[in-house]
Structure 1
Amino acid sequence: MKKKTFLLPALSGLLLAPFVLTEAVSAAEVATTPTSEAVAVTADSSSTTASTAATGTTTSTPTTEASASTSAATPTSETTTSTATEATTVATSEVEAVILHTNDVHGRILEDRGVIGDAKAAAIIADERTKVATTIVVDAGDAFQGMPISNSTQGEDRAAIMNQVGYDAMAVGNHEFDFGLDQAVKYKELLNFPLLSSNTYVDGARLFESYTIVDKDKTVVGDEFVVIGVTTPETATKTHPQNIVGVTFKEPIDEVNLVVDEIEARAAAAGVTYKNYIILAHLGVDTTTPESWRGDTLAKALSTNAKLAGKRVIVIDGHSHTVSSTTYGDNVTYSQTGSYLNNIGKITLKSDQLLAETSLISAADAASVTPDPTIAALVADIKTKYEAENAEVVIANNPVELNGERSNVRVRETNLGNVVTDALYDYGQTGFSNKSSLAVTNGGGLRASIKKDQAVTKGDIIAVLPFGNSISQITVTGQQIKDMFEKSVSAPHQVNKETGEAVLDANGQPLLEASGGFLHVSGAQVFYDVNLEAGNRVQYISIWNPDTESYDDLDLEATYYLATNDFLAAGGDGYTMLGGAREEGPSMDSVFATYLKEVASVNLLNLYEEVNPETRLFSVNSSLDTDGDGFVDFVEEILGFDPNDATSNPDAVVTPPADNSNNQSETDSSGQVSSDTNKDSNKPGTPAVKTPGQAGSKQENQASLPATGSSQTALISMIGLGLAGIGFALKKRKEVE
């Protein structure tokens, strides 16, 4: 393999860290301010609501998702563009029924900032039931997994709360499988209401009920509600593959229409007419989801189903964590509340309208609500039990915020992703038969931030890594690594819904849509160009060589040892290109906790201070050639000098490629950027070519390093893997500014 010194070796990078970190500018976040939903409501919303237009089609599109942080679960920043009337008085006599709905609660049992919590939600639901006799309460999936307090009993405590609240039905979400297939099936026994999925099959038979009939007043004919459930086929890659062995997920639209046919046929045979349908969908509207699997596509299809003509159809969705409300045709209403009990959805049905009026009861609306005493007592007992189990302190004080914002860890490099992957890499140096070459973890597996200036407990660690995954090491080829990173950066661009323009990062490059499969890495650098088509974005990958303390070009035919979580190792999140010989290790949370203790013990956690350090993952424009010399900018940065500038490296002046029309970067036959022009100067023992941000060569800095074998050496090697790359990031930002 060809030797590289694009970035500083780990140890010299560490010495530069204080200077570089003070000069670095944090990557700009997408400036999205939550706006009111199409309809705003107060907790006492029976008298006054602002309603969506009763006719026509409103549009709704997600932007970024809310934080998964336990401490900062603010309302989601997805907004809705919709046509709304002015606030109007709703006369109780006109209201035929009310549907209250939740989705993607993910175990938010406790009230928190921006989170209503189960006790207040129960009080709101109870109050609504006193106002409208036909009040239906449903959930669109992902109710049990997500927070340590709920995970500690595999969601069973939350199931008990939902029983007490009195839900009428719930859809099966992908995360209902996270504690295993047996536990998913067990929920059917634990819940006092139906768990629905029309398209989940085992051995040719539906695993769950496909629908239920909710009839709140059996003395009234025609007020029944048919409730059909449907689950995202993405479950095949959105839970651990071992959790769904033998389970298949059929096409959502086909299966829902099939169930409608079955219900209508039976109704006709019995002389019964059903006027109201609720579709509990855990499908979502993410742009990364195949269109035929999306909730809005289902809603649109149902608006053209002749058997549903003249009937009310309410599609209540989840999965994408989107605040959304829209209508299709003259009879289909679509709604989603966001996530994490930031909101409770309220759908009001009037006797003279097919289209419903949607609104949200937000955490702010619920601020003055008195919690339901029964649920509050149940929650208190659950909290006491959980706290006793998870109060163990891992480190006494955390000097930096480790950012786990969903809209951050799923689109770009973050300090939390770096420290978690560093923990995996560190364990991989001694924990397996072979030393790990690199480590990756998926952004979707990082579910919470760790606060600054407070103790970090076992519960905090589990909040970050709530899935119970273990560390695995698999044997892979360089080609598999390249394919893996192509998958990681394959999401479409984020688009500003108001202007239609791409959302840009701090360096002026398009920002990817949030994807749970976005990878964080330790032991490698990846250059990619999101301006290109997905599948052809990765421009260059280098792998850290601890023996030479430098980066080597990725060799597509070589064998590497990849440390990761068992979810990805088994092909989760669509990483089907992975595989090969595999070794298992301990739980990820225990590996992470051990690493945090070690780093904190030598006061090095502050080296993770930069939230978006840009030291390992680089979004570049692969066609940008600022000086017009035929060598694109990012290649010159990798080489560490201008190939045409004799003063920067007299022995390395080269001729530009003859044809730069398609790709100006120097590449070999594999598509990897080649470093042949610099290989001689990078031989072990020779002074390293200086790179942006480098104060001196490896030899010049050697005197300042800790002695080999000291207590800090290993940790410095780990943490320094990416810090020197900040020089490159700073240069890019200056160009943008």
Structure 2
Amino acid sequence: MHTNDLHSHAEPFMDRGRMVGGFSRLGHLIKTIRGNTPNTVVVDAGDMFQGTPLFTHYHGDVEVSLLNKIGYDMYTIGNHEFDDGAENLGLQLKKAKFDVLCSNIDTKSQPELDSVVKPYKIKEIAGKKVAFVGVMTPELERLSLSLGGVKIKNLDKDWIEPVREVVAKLKAEGITRIVAITHCGVDFDQQLAAGVPDLDVIVGGHSHTRLDKPIYVSHPDGSETIIVQTGSYGRTLGRLDVAIKDNGELDTAQTKYRLINITDKIVEDPEIKAYVEKKIEPLLSLRQTIVSQAEGDFDNRWAMMPWDSALGDLVTDALCQAGKEYGATICLHNRGGMRGRIEKGPITLEKVQEILPFDNRMSFATITGKALLSALEHSVSGPAGGRFLDVHGLKLGYDPTMKRGSRLVFAMAENKDGKYSPVDPLKDYKVAINNYTFHDGEGYDFKDAKKIVDSADRVAIPFRKYLENHPVVKPQTPSRIVPITDGVLSANRKDEVLAKVKNTVPGSKVQLLAGTDRGATSYGNGI
């Protein structure tokens, strides 16, 4: 059984009109299945920290205690485990009764952490030895700014090589059944499977991908690697019943997999429920403080939304408002810096902290149009995800079918009169950006920025103030970022007066742009 990206969601929560998740129900289900099923192993694929006020208040102690109480066997570290610093992570994981696995990070700079991390664990199951190997995303050093010297091994050459070496060592010891527990995301998991064919199963995390069916990666010798992942926040529990042939090989045809939805139909474990309720008590005032009302749902589906999100529009509107005194007219906010969604109804202070849980501040600065265009190009250079920027004061279109570095089709900045004109590479723009993104997070580069002012307030504070000043907020139809393929905007055929623009959001406005080169030279009214 497996979970991933629990992100401190210890309590059941409302998700699109349904009550889901909760460690008390998850714990009851795991204990019940384990009691009825011999040879069961329970693992988590990282990012148990960060995402609700529980982590902000207890710094990870609650999450580790809950995994202990449920009876997890193994876990691999996620990038958000470093959010409160590597030293804190070491102190919290010292309390773990489960094995902490990661084969491709160098933790020598952090003695406490180094003392608990193992590259692998060998476990005897049904009379056969099975090895479990932990793996971290090769993007760790780009994603976390508080590693305290922890780094990815061999990153400058081949990030897979340290894993390959561990697997070769295990094979030399006669262990032929090997499972990787990874916090890499499905794309890197597929790279890993192709690069290390001896992995039978990859239990993944990081990309928050709900895989209702496994991904199978085939190898030249006819074998396959199975990749599974549950999504996020404890909405589901993954169950993989692995079948082994008489010759010891993995029988993928007979191996069964399913996701079990954690709903209010599942009984709650009374001990875990009581523990969570006790830990929540000091935080109840956050839940009881209402700061605004939502007229509809503000969604933020990460990788499933290659356009601006309603939540991202709201957050960037709020943070740009906070930057008005510094002259900011544009706001950029990485999507990974926003968590969860706002459901229709009261917006509480607890929800504000869930939406913006990180210890990020705002940076206000003057940047060139060239730097702004570079940032927007970087935002759309991969699939929509944590790096993707939601924006205020901009409208942009991009072609996701083009090669990286050449996807931005047009970018228009709002003028003082409310109209838009193309971003000028030679012009200066005043922007509001969270300091994680501003200081190299996710690979962004603003090193040439001028007139920098760093706010002392966490980003949740100006967001709260904005909501308090707007008693009712209404989700906007996405119109700031548009993925464009097979349309005149990406082809710019000078003799074409009518073109179909596919893959846009239903209900989007059409914006008229003129120009014979890639991009646009003028902006017309929407129709």
- The TM tier, using the shorter chain, reads 0.7 to 0.9
Contact 2:76 2:183 in 1 (8 A): yes
Go from structure 1 to structure 2 and tell me whether the alpha carbon gap of 1:348 and 1:616 turns closer, same or farther (over 3 Å shift).
closer
1:279 has 2:174 as partner: no
Aligned to 1:212: 121
TM-score, normalised to structure 1, is: 0.61
Q: After the TM superposition, which residues 310-709 of structure 1 pair with which residues of structure 2 at under 5 Å, given as runs?
A: 313-322=200-209, 323=211, 324-327=213-216, 328=218, 329-330=222-223, 332-350=225-243, 352=245, 354-355=249-250, 357-363=255-261, 367-395=264-292, 397-407=293-303, 410-430=305-325, 434-452=326-344, 454-491=345-382, 513-530=383-400, 532-546=402-416, 550-576=419-445, 580-581=449-450, 582-585=452-455, 586-600=457-471, 605=473, 608-612=474-478, 614-615=479-480, 619=484, 621-622=488-489, 628=495, 637-638=512-513, 665-667=515-517, 673-675=520-522, 692=525
Distance in 2 of aligned mates of 1:383 and 1:253: 41
Q: Displacement of 1:154 after TM fit? A: 2.6
Contact 2:20 2:264 in 1 (8 A): no
Contact 1:332 1:355 in 2 (8 A): no
Q: Displacement of 1:318 after TM fit? A: 1.6
For 2:285, what is the secondary structure of its paired residue? helix
Distance in 2 of aligned mates of 1:480 and 1:164: 49
Aligned to 1:257: 164
Q: Show CA shifts across 1:207-248 (max 9, x none).
A: 4321123357xxx9x534322101011222333x24455523
Distance in 2 of aligned mates of 1:127 and 1:636: 56
Go from structure 1 to structure 2 and tell me whether the alpha carbon gap of 1:413 and 1:155 turns closer, same or farther (over 3 Å shift).
same
Q: Displacement of 1:536 after TM fit? A: 2.3
Go from structure 1 to structure 2 and tell me whether the alpha carbon gap of 1:162 and 1:637 turns closer, same or farther (over 3 Å shift).
same
| Equivalent residue letter for 1:358 | K
Contact 1:231 1:252 in 2 (8 A): no
Go from structure 1 to structure 2 and tell me whether the alpha carbon gap of 1:623 and 1:468 turns closer, same or farther (over 3 Å shift).
closer
Distance in 1 of aligned mates of 2:194 and 2:500: 46
Distance in 2 of aligned mates of 1:623 and 1:455: 42
Contact 1:522 1:616 in 2 (8 A): no
1:101 has 2:2 as partner: yes
Q: Displacement of 1:301 after TM fit? A: 3.5
Instruction: Report which of the two structures shows the higher radius of gyration computed on alpha carbons.
Output: 1
| Equivalent residue letter for 2:185 | G
Q: Displacement of 1:625 after TM fit? A: 6.7
Q: Show CA shifts across 1:369-421 (max 9, x none).
A: 322221121122223333234432212x333332223355x411233222211
For 2:238, what is the secondary structure of its paired residue? strand
1:191 has 2:96 as partner: yes
For 1:455, what is the secondary structure of its paired residue? strand
Contact 1:529 1:621 in 2 (8 A): no
Q: After the TM superposition, which residues 233-252 of structure 1 pair with which residues of structure 2 at under 5 Å, given as runs?
A: 233-239=138-144, 241-243=145-147, 245=149, 247-249=151-153, 250=155, 251-252=158-159
Q: Displacement of 1:332 after TM fit? A: 4.0
- Supply the RMSD in Å over aligned alpha carbons: 3.2
For 2:214, what is the secondary structure of its paired residue? strand
Aligned to 1:49: none
For 2:436, what is the secondary structure of its paired residue? helix
| Equivalent residue letter for 2:348 | T
Aligned to 1:142: 47
| Equivalent residue letter for 2:151 | V
| Equivalent residue letter for 1:404 | N
Go from structure 1 to structure 2 and tell me whether the alpha carbon gap of 1:332 and 1:545 turns closer, same or farther (over 3 Å shift).
closer
Contact 1:402 1:611 in 2 (8 A): no
Go from structure 1 to structure 2 and tell me whether the alpha carbon gap of 1:486 and 1:150 turns closer, same or farther (over 3 Å shift).
same
Distance in 2 of aligned mates of 1:423 and 1:254: 45
Contact 1:474 1:579 in 2 (8 A): no
| Equivalent residue letter for 1:238 | L
Distance in 2 of aligned mates of 1:550 and 1:611: 19
Structure 2 runs not aligned, ≥5 long? 502-509
Go from structure 1 to structure 2 and tell me whether the alpha carbon gap of 1:626 and 1:480 turns closer, same or farther (over 3 Å shift).
closer
Q: Displacement of 1:632 after TM fit? A: 9.0
Distance in 2 of aligned mates of 1:618 and 1:406: 15
Contact 2:55 2:62 in 1 (8 A): yes
Distance in 2 of aligned mates of 1:401 and 1:580: 36
Q: Show CA shifts across 1:263-311 (max 9, x none).
A: 455x4xxxxx43532211112223xxxxxxx2123234433x4xx8xxx
Between structures 1 and 2, the one with greater strand share: 2
Go from structure 1 to structure 2 and tell me whether the alpha carbon gap of 1:621 and 1:159 turns closer, same or farther (over 3 Å shift).
farther
For 1:622, what is the secondary structure of its paired residue? helix
Distance in 2 of aligned mates of 1:550 and 1:169: 55
Q: Displacement of 1:447 after TM fit? A: 1.6
Q: Show CA shifts across 1:84-125 (max 9, x none).
A: xxxxxxxxxxxxxxxx21122222212343634211221222
Contact 2:394 2:480 in 1 (8 A): no
Q: Displacement of 1:478 after TM fit? A: 1.0
Q: Show CA shifts across 1:455-490 (max 9, x none).
A: 211111112112232111233211011111112222
For 1:556, what is the secondary structure of its paired residue? coil
Q: Displacement of 1:189 after TM fit? A: 0.9
For 2:359, what is the secondary structure of its paired residue? coil
| Equivalent residue letter for 1:573 | E
For 2:268, what is the secondary structure of its paired residue? coil
Distance in 2 of aligned mates of 1:111 and 1:411: 28
Go from structure 1 to structure 2 and tell me whether the alpha carbon gap of 1:633 and 1:254 turns closer, same or farther (over 3 Å shift).
closer
Q: Displacement of 1:170 after TM fit? A: 0.4
| Equivalent residue letter for 1:111 | P
Distance in 2 of aligned mates of 1:378 and 1:445: 29
Distance in 1 of aligned mates of 2:490 and 2:331: 29
Distance in 2 of aligned mates of 1:451 and 1:118: 21
Q: Show CA shifts across 1:171-216 (max 9, x none).
A: 1112222222222322321212221111112469994321123357
Q: Show CA shifts across 1:241-268 (max 9, x none).
A: 2445552354443111211233455x4x
Structure 1 runs not aligned, ≥5 long? 1-99, 268-272, 287-293, 492-512, 640-664, 679-690, 693-727, 732-737
Q: Displacement of 1:339 after TM fit? A: 2.5
| Equivalent residue letter for 1:363 | N
Q: Displacement of 1:147 after TM fit? A: 3.0
Q: Displacement of 1:672 after TM fit? A: 5.9
Aligned to 2:504: none
Match of 1:173 among 55, 78, 82: 78
Q: Displacement of 1:558 after TM fit? A: 2.6
Contact 1:625 1:632 in 2 (8 A): no
Go from structure 1 to structure 2 and tell me whether the alpha carbon gap of 1:672 and 1:375 turns closer, same or farther (over 3 Å shift).
same
Distance in 1 of aligned mates of 2:38 and 2:397: 59
